[in-house]
Structure 1
Amino acid sequence: MHRLLVVLCISVALVAGAEQDVLELTDDNFNSVLKQHETTLVMFYAPWCGHCKRLKPEYAKAAELVKGDDPPIALAKVDCTEAGKETCGKFSVSGYPTLKIFRGDSVSQDYSGPREANGIVKYMRAQVGPASRNIKSIDEINKFLDTKDTTIFGFFEDPDVALAKLFVKFADKNREKYRFGHSNDPDVLAKYGETEKIVLFRAPHLANKFEETNVQFEGSSESELSTFVKENFHGLVGHRTQDTIRDFKNPLIVAYYSVDYVKNPKGTNYWRNRVLKVAKEFTNKATFAISAKDDFQHELNEYGYDFVGDKPVILARDEKNLKYALKEEFSVENLRDFVEKLLDGELEPYVKSEPIPENNNAPVKVAVAKNFDEVVINNNKDTLVEFYAPWCGHCKKLAPVFDEVAEKLENEEVDLVKMDATANDVPPEFNVRGFPTLFWLPKNQKDKPVAYNEGREVDDFIKYIAKHATNELNGFDRSGKSKKTEL
């Protein structure tokens, strides 16, 4: 217990220390403090805001990381509910947190970068000084390349050659995403061989025996350079973070475990090297990565994992974005076999699904992942399907309307179906980004779902379905008017 209290006290002290690096701005000191700094990232926040609370420790950590940077970067915050009300109004802050970049006391641009510490640091460092750092000595390049970041470096004796101009142009366009350096120092050029070349130096902590630590660009155009960087930046097995998640394309195999290059780099690379051994055999056939299990618990949950032990958990997606999991305990042999079967299409996809309802006779049918094809695709009826979330207020409001429409169409060749998209895997052809999301599927064109974006009252649904039904409805004409029944 005593040891736990000591650890907690140290953690609190570290957080408090990091927070001291964040400037506290008010209406009274906003301009005067910002004038003292060339570049400042300002967070406008409200103490009660959940997103602000989540950002706060990352923001403080970022402030600590850039402390002492040259060119200097400052991070500041303004409480929009108390001493910074007027300032927040002046800059039209309407949501929290809002982040803006200032040059002196003048706003330069809205911040649109990552919301975790390393991402914030990388984004802000790209905002100050030139896009590429000019290295002037051997000692300087040694320090510059001793970093946790991968670096794109230009060696140019003549800054006017075509490759040098290409490098500068590419660096200017990508300064927020990549780290750049260049040199024309004779000693630096002599150490790294021939001049007029662009080299990608992978971060030293990712060095391994399965691939080169640096790769030279052999092309001559901007598109070739862009492709070169994308294909080589992360190497055979990249460190996939929330900041880099979009860099990794399907088919994708990810090892989730305690990835920590700050506190445990050796332990992290112990497992990464085993993944590398397999990845080397499938070069250009699949993408491999490692991810910290704590940072991607939401992804693990999607595959039914609530806990990851000491050994990595292997999860994958194929080119169709279907999900797969290595069921056996992690080993090089099991991983190799898993990847071979994945690429050959021999694996059964993992499907998150609620149980199939024992009784599905209500007017609105219930679809789960396991019966989706039966209830929606192969029901031989026109179908209107709603993807909802149990906690969604709009979904709750729609529920009685949907029920009433289904009751009115009970004797028609039309089914209304609902599916809890938080408890079931949604087929990839349905682009569900919010709730509720509805799609119309004509019975003879189930491969082409149409997004329903009309009104959400009973009459709105009836009119839409009557108009688009494959066969005219029995009880309604094409305009949605009820047909009169002869006595």
Structure 2
Amino acid sequence: MRLSSALALVGLAATSLFAGVQAAENSDVLDLTQKNFASTVNGEDLILVEFFAPWCGHCKALAPEYEVAATQLKAKNIPIAKVDCTVETDLCQEQGIQGYPTLKVFRNGTPSDYQGARKADAIVSYLQKQTQPALTILNAETVADFSASDKVVIVGVLPADSEKRKILLSVANKLRDDFTFGVIEESEDLKAGGVVLYKKFDEGKNLLEGDFTEESLTEFITVNSVPIMDEIGPNNYAKYMDAGLPLGYLFVSTPEQRTQYGPEVEALAKELRGKMNFVYIDSAKFGAHASNLNLKESWPAFGVQNVQNGAKYPVDQAQDLSIENIKAVVDGVLSGKLEPSIKSEAVPEPNDGPVKVVVAHNYKEIVEDQSKDVLIEFYAPWCGHCKNLAPIYEELGEAYKGSDIVIAKFDATANDLPTDVPFQIQGFPTIKLRKAGSSEYIDYNGERTKDGFVEFLAKEAVNKFEVKVEKKEAEAEPVQAEDIEHDEL
């Protein structure tokens, strides 16, 4: 059910909308608790809820953006709220919250994950799209304003009973979270039977040519909605990840470097549109991201990331950064002939401690040993949860020493995963069990106690090994993962 657009009811709705729900002083963000959560989210056509922890750095960064969005959306009769998971632990467990912040959109009580960026304008735009029909019916008076209403707008010129309109509606329903769609039966300015994508960058608009199918229309939108070469940052990072195309980064530290190297790379980006995306990245702000591409922090620099499997292809920094060297790497990536760069710590010698140390170069030897069950922790040295887990994990390793159940750890900041591993690390610590005789990985989501791990392994491991556990009264650390910051991208 969509939010009512009857203007006569807006004043009354604003008066009664938040009855029984308290917002913090001078805040338009509602505070929800176990007592008022169900009645609030079930009573709203649309509401955004943030599940947070006060100590979480990402939550602190989001807070001012969230406040701005709340004020703007309140005027549009769209409430947004928050839940403190350090207080409302049962409620957050019921909602399946495993990391902070988690944002969920509730439609009449039914949740879905928020897919937008964590900036005020992105939050407002995302929720406004949720209140609109997937496909807005336009006329000669409304089409011009509608076409300029968002950064990317798709308009079809299609008869009401045509098969093409059904196709446009189907695609609009699938992509409504990301784009604004409209349709008009006929227009003097637009080609009948076609689709035009309006955008506030590059050439301004694109016309769909060739086949008109769900697949071709989706590809047309996906390709043309991304600028030929944009500046990457927090607002659009997720969009490039979701696009699925290899991503080429040009790191520059000065306007002069951008002027010198940008035009040739932009020409390459235009030539390869639809095959690879290209972006500028400000090394003054996000230079640490170079290590994620196995590049040194020396500018300018260029590297390509396969966003689907995490493979990295840096341009050799021992050579001058030339368009020829960039093209050689790009061509190698697209042809599949270039081997990815693998970052790895040295293989530890010896490696006979209670917890096996896994690095990129011994990953397959240890983790994919089919005779063993392997419980592996993917961690970051700076992660507070990982530090708290360390002594428990060492004790666990001692308990299983000499068995066919291996307890292992992998510093995911200093080593690359093999590209054929069927997952990427989204938070720290991430703990998985790779069963003996199988390529399957099972997520560990239990309590981070010795008891919790032992019970899990007794149930899930193929190899059986009895470990006695002394029950302790100490409270287990909440199960949650610290978000990977992607160097603030």
Report TM bin, short chain. Answer: 0.5 to 0.7
**C-alpha displacement at 1:420, in angstroms?**
3.1
**8 Å CA contact retained: 1:314, 1:325:** yes
Matches within 5 A, 1:163-182: 163-182=164-183
- Which residue identity is paired with 1:327? D
Is the radius of gyration larger for structure 1 or structure 2?
1
Q: 1:218 to 1:73 in 2, by over 3 A?
A: farther
Distance 1:100 1:121 in 2: 14
Distance 1:153 1:93 in 2: 37
| Structure 2 equivalent of residue 191 of structure 1 | 189
Q: 1:271 to 1:64 in 2, by over 3 A?
A: farther
Q: SS in structure 2 opposite 1:425?
A: coil
**C-alpha displacement at 1:124, in angstroms?**
0.5
**8 Å CA contact retained: 1:302, 1:352:** no
| Residue correspondences, number | 412
1:230 aligns with 2:222: yes
| Structure 1 equivalent of residue 265 of structure 2 | 275
Distance 2:96 2:307 in 1: 41
Distance 2:326 2:103 in 1: 43
**8 Å CA contact retained: 1:364, 1:416:** yes
| Structure 2 equivalent of residue 335 of structure 1 | 326
1:323 aligns with 2:326: no
| Structure 2 equivalent of residue 4 of structure 1 | none
1:437 aligns with 2:437: no
**8 Å CA contact retained: 2:304, 2:314:** yes
| Structure 1 equivalent of residue 360 of structure 2 | 369
**8 Å CA contact retained: 2:167, 2:213:** yes
Q: 1:436 to 1:243 in 2, by over 3 A?
A: closer
2:392 to 380, 392, 397: 397
Q: Can you list the C-alpha shifts for 1:69-99, whole angstroms capped at 9, x where unaligned?
A: xxx3545446769xx99xx98xx88967676
Distance 1:239 1:437 in 2: 35
1:153 aligns with 2:175: no
Distance 2:373 2:287 in 1: 33
| Structure 2 equivalent of residue 124 of structure 1 | 127
1:55 aligns with 2:62: yes
**8 Å CA contact retained: 1:383, 1:417:** no
1:214 aligns with 2:233: no
Unaligned runs of 5+ in 1: 1-18, 443-447, 468-478, 482-487
Higher relative contact order (CA 8 A, sep 6+): 2
**C-alpha displacement at 1:67, in angstroms?**
8.3
Q: 1:150 to 1:215 in 2, by over 3 A?
A: same
Matches within 5 A, 1:57-72: 57-63=64-70, 72=76
| Structure 1 equivalent of residue 12 of structure 2 | none
- Which residue identity is paired with 2:118? E
- Which residue identity is paired with 2:266? L
**8 Å CA contact retained: 1:152, 1:179:** yes
- Which residue identity is paired with 1:195? A
Distance 2:353 2:297 in 1: 37
Distance 1:101 1:305 in 2: 38
Q: Can you list the C-alpha shifts for 1:360-412, whole angstroms capped at 9, x where unaligned?
A: 45576533223445x53899x94454432262545542323323433467xxx
- Which residue identity is paired with 1:324? Y
**8 Å CA contact retained: 2:48, 2:103:** yes
Over the aligned positions, Cα root-mean-square deviation in angstroms equals 5.3
- Which residue identity is paired with 2:169? V
1:290 aligns with 2:291: no
**8 Å CA contact retained: 1:46, 1:52:** yes
Q: 1:300 to 1:75 in 2, by over 3 A?
A: farther
**C-alpha displacement at 1:280, in angstroms?**
4.0
**C-alpha displacement at 1:214, in angstroms?**
0.6
Distance 1:170 1:452 in 2: 34
- Which residue identity is paired with 1:59? Y
**8 Å CA contact retained: 1:314, 1:330:** no
Q: 1:438 to 1:23 in 2, by over 3 A?
A: closer
Q: SS in structure 1 opposite 2:226?
A: coil
- Which residue identity is paired with 1:244? K
Q: SS in structure 2 opposite 1:327?
A: coil
Q: Return the TM-score normalized by structure 2.
A: 0.63
| Structure 2 equivalent of residue 474 of structure 1 | none
Distance 1:378 1:172 in 2: 41
Distance 2:106 2:352 in 1: 61
Distance 1:269 1:137 in 2: 42
Q: Can you list the C-alpha shifts for 1:47-86, whole angstroms capped at 9, x where unaligned?
A: 5555532321232343576687xxx3545446769xx99x
Distance 1:153 1:296 in 2: 36
**C-alpha displacement at 1:354, in angstroms?**
1.9
**C-alpha displacement at 1:136, in angstroms?**
4.0
Q: SS in structure 1 opposite 2:266?
A: helix
2:292 to 299, 302, 313: 302
Distance 1:324 1:52 in 2: 33
Q: Return the TM-score normalized by structure 1.
A: 0.64
| Structure 1 equivalent of residue 376 of structure 2 | 387
- Which residue identity is paired with 1:204? K
Unaligned runs of 5+ in 2: 1-24, 445-451, 468-489
Distance 2:106 2:358 in 1: 51
Q: Can you list the C-alpha shifts for 1:259-287, whole angstroms capped at 9, x where unaligned?
A: 9xxxx9x9989966533311344456x42
Distance 1:112 1:298 in 2: 27
**8 Å CA contact retained: 1:382, 1:415:** no
- Which residue identity is paired with 1:350? S
**8 Å CA contact retained: 2:312, 2:341:** yes
Q: 1:215 to 1:436 in 2, by over 3 A?
A: same
Q: 1:20 to 1:354 in 2, by over 3 A?
A: same
1:205 to 201, 207, 227: 201
Q: SS in structure 1 opposite 2:395?
A: helix
Q: SS in structure 2 opposite 1:334?
A: helix
**8 Å CA contact retained: 1:199, 1:217:** no
